[in-house]
Structure 1
Amino acid sequence: MKSFVTLALGVSIATLSAAASAQEYPTQAIRMVVPFSAGGPADTIARVVSQKMGEILGQPIVIENRGGAGGVIGTDLVAKGAPDGYLIGMSSAGALAISASVQQTMPYDATTDFAPVTLLASVPELLVVNDGVEAETFDELLELARAEPGALNFASSGPGSMPHLAGELLNIAAEIEAVHVPYAGAAPAVTDLLGGQVQFMFADIPVLLPHVQEGTLRALAVGSAERTGTLPDVATTAELGMPDVTAENWYGIVAPPGTPEDVVATLNAAIVEALADEGVAETLGSQGANLIGSSPQEFGDYIASETEKWAEVVEVSGAMDQ
């Protein structure tokens, strides 16, 4: 009887200790890995959200930029990290859904090797042309492409990137043959687009917005289901008769696999509250971001569906055989 009581007492103490620990979390700074360089769209979103998130949790969120391999290197740090709630990552569509189809080897399986926390935000891909292209509308661009197959080139920030696959998706849906020209990042791609070396490009709205506002690039369509408040006069690809050409870069928070559910729930609640903040919404909305704040389950399902979608685009287009 004594041993049973001792055992029961030990279990009770352990249970109470775990409950107290969960209630106290977090008790120290949380490290957020952003697998891209400082100053880019992903970094901007992470810093705006993490500042408010830290205020809500009562502990600082420390940003660590670990770029490389399209976000895979930094994202892998999270996959291999300790599941204690003090390491999380803000990763992207590229590292969590596309890379599985475009890289020969992957250090993780995004559908199983993370604890999804929330789908943070999406940023639609904007389709633009330069002033030298004789197309004032989306339909006129398609007419040009069909009149001379292979004559139009589209830029991207690199093979297998969202801008690349958005262009391939347009090729498939519109039955055109625009030629992909990859660059080492968005900046040189936009430079050559402005210079006329390439004719059109898809890219995240924040990358192209200044040039559209200056009138040096012309926006023809936005690759989302709904129009963006940043450019409300630009029609969606769905409105223009191409509902399958939906391309939105997205960013989500993940934690190492095995992170306790109560910790994930605490992180999720803090992020959702941060996204509801008026200042956060205004700052990120002005950059073309659509704030989401999904449940962990919804985000896990979304990663799986996006992985399947882009794998099919890569296969049908032969994108990685170019």
Structure 2
Amino acid sequence: MRQASRGSKLLLCALAAASFSASALAQSWPHSTVTVVVPWPPGGPSDIAARPIAKRLTEDLGQPFVIDNRGGGGGNIGSAVVARAHPDGNTLLITSSAPIVINPSLYKKMPFDPAKELTPITNLLRVPLVLVANPAVPANNLKELMAYIQSKKGDFSYASAGSGTPQHMTGELFKSVTHLDMTHVPYKGSAPAISDLLGGHVPIMFDSMIAIMPHIKSGKVKAIAISGDKRSPLLPDVPTFAESGLPQVVSYAWYGFFAPAGTPKPIIDKINAETLKAMKAPEFQRILADTGSDYVGDTPENFAKFVKEESVKWSKVVKESGATVD
């Protein structure tokens, strides 16, 4: 009995020491430069979330948070760098949803497993997508557009910012729900897709409000419907897909904060708390308002649950559409 009691005490002491060590580690973190990988080229929507967050964390925590843009592979290359990084809180990831919840179903071979190799910290923002049309398209609402697409008998295309992007998958969700025959035309980013839309080379596209808003305001494209669950204050006259008769079409481009799996929980919790504080600051609130985004700061646990739900949703869309990039 004494031996068992002594063993129990030793175990409790070891657990207490480990707990104290993790807590002390979190208190001292960060003790050097923190690299925040954005797995997309500079200037993209992920940067809109990443750069103000990194700036504020630098100011509040007293160590540099440096953005490292590593584009390529639909976001897989930069994300894999973080997945393989030492889990000490010094290498983090801010990315759109694609490499986390879309690519695992879209790519036959992934360089990392987001469900096993990354730990969710918090959602940073979510922005609805807008279905827009070139002014020459003879439709001013979703019902008219669907009738027009049907009349083309397969001779119709839609553009997106690239294969596997939320823009592409929202188009596939729309196709799946409506059973319309459309050809996907992927581009390398929103800018060239928008350019061809404005030039009349493609008739419609799905894009985030962040990228397409200036062209809607200038009248160069027509906004047909928005993919959020409610109308946007920036586009109060544009109905949702649900209001237009397609309640199944709800989609957001969202951007999240992740760390390598195995990062100590106290560090994850500290990053979460400091990030939520940064998100409530006036600078980030202005970004949300300017881009039509929702505030979605959350606990790591709730964000992890949301990521799992999104993975199931987009896996189904990929399977039904037959989409692939391989």
Shorter-chain TM range is over 0.9
> Does 2:50 align with 1:49?
no
Equivalents in 2 of 1:14, 1:134: separation in Å?
67
> Does 2:67 align with 1:63?
yes
Query: Deviations along 1:98-125, whole A, 9 cap, x unmatched?
Result: 1011112002221121111111111211
> Does 2:36 align with 1:27?
no
The equivalent residue for 1:91 is 95
> Does 2:240 align with 1:214?
no
Query: Deviations along 1:154-199, whole A, 9 cap, x unmatched?
Result: 1112222222221111112122112212222222211111111111
Task: Extract unaligned runs of 5+ from structure 1.
Answer: none
Task: Extract unaligned runs of 5+ from structure 2.
Answer: 1-8
Q: TM-score, normalised by structure 2?
A: 0.91
Candidates 152, 155, 161, aligned match of 1:148: 152
Candidates 250, 254, 258, aligned match of 1:250: 254
Query: Deviations along 1:55-103, whole A, 9 cap, x unmatched?
Result: 2323221111111111110011110001111111002211101101111
Letter of the 2:39 partner, please give it.
Answer: P
Candidates 172, 176, 182, aligned match of 1:178: 182
With 297-306 and 209-218 compared, the bigger mean Cα shift is at: 297-306
Partner SS, residue 51 of structure 2: helix
The equivalent residue for 2:108 is 104
Equivalents in 2 of 1:49, 1:320: separation in Å?
33
> Does 2:134 align with 1:114?
no
Letter of the 2:87 partner, please give it.
Answer: P
* Offset, 1:232: 2.3
Equivalents in 1 of 2:115, 2:16: separation in Å?
35
Q: Is 2:155–2:182's contact at 8 Å kept on the other side of the alignment?
A: yes
Equivalents in 2 of 1:227, 1:11: separation in Å?
51
Aligned residues: 319
Candidates 272, 275, 291, aligned match of 2:276: 272
5 Å-filtered alignment, 1:69-88, equals 69-88=73-92
Equivalents in 1 of 2:324, 2:165: separation in Å?
11
Structure 1 6/80 Cα, relative in aligned 2: closer, same or farther at 3 Å? Answer: closer
Alignment root-mean-square deviation, CA? 2.3
Equivalents in 1 of 2:16, 2:272: separation in Å?
28
With 205-214 and 276-285 compared, the bigger mean Cα shift is at: 276-285
* Offset, 1:266: 0.2
Letter of the 1:176 partner, please give it.
Answer: L
Structure 1 13/145 Cα, relative in aligned 2: closer, same or farther at 3 Å? Answer: closer
* Offset, 1:9: 8.9
* Offset, 1:139: 1.4
Partner SS, residue 126 of structure 1: strand
Structure 1 113/8 Cα, relative in aligned 2: closer, same or farther at 3 Å? Answer: closer
Equivalents in 2 of 1:103, 1:73: separation in Å?
13
* Offset, 1:234: 1.5
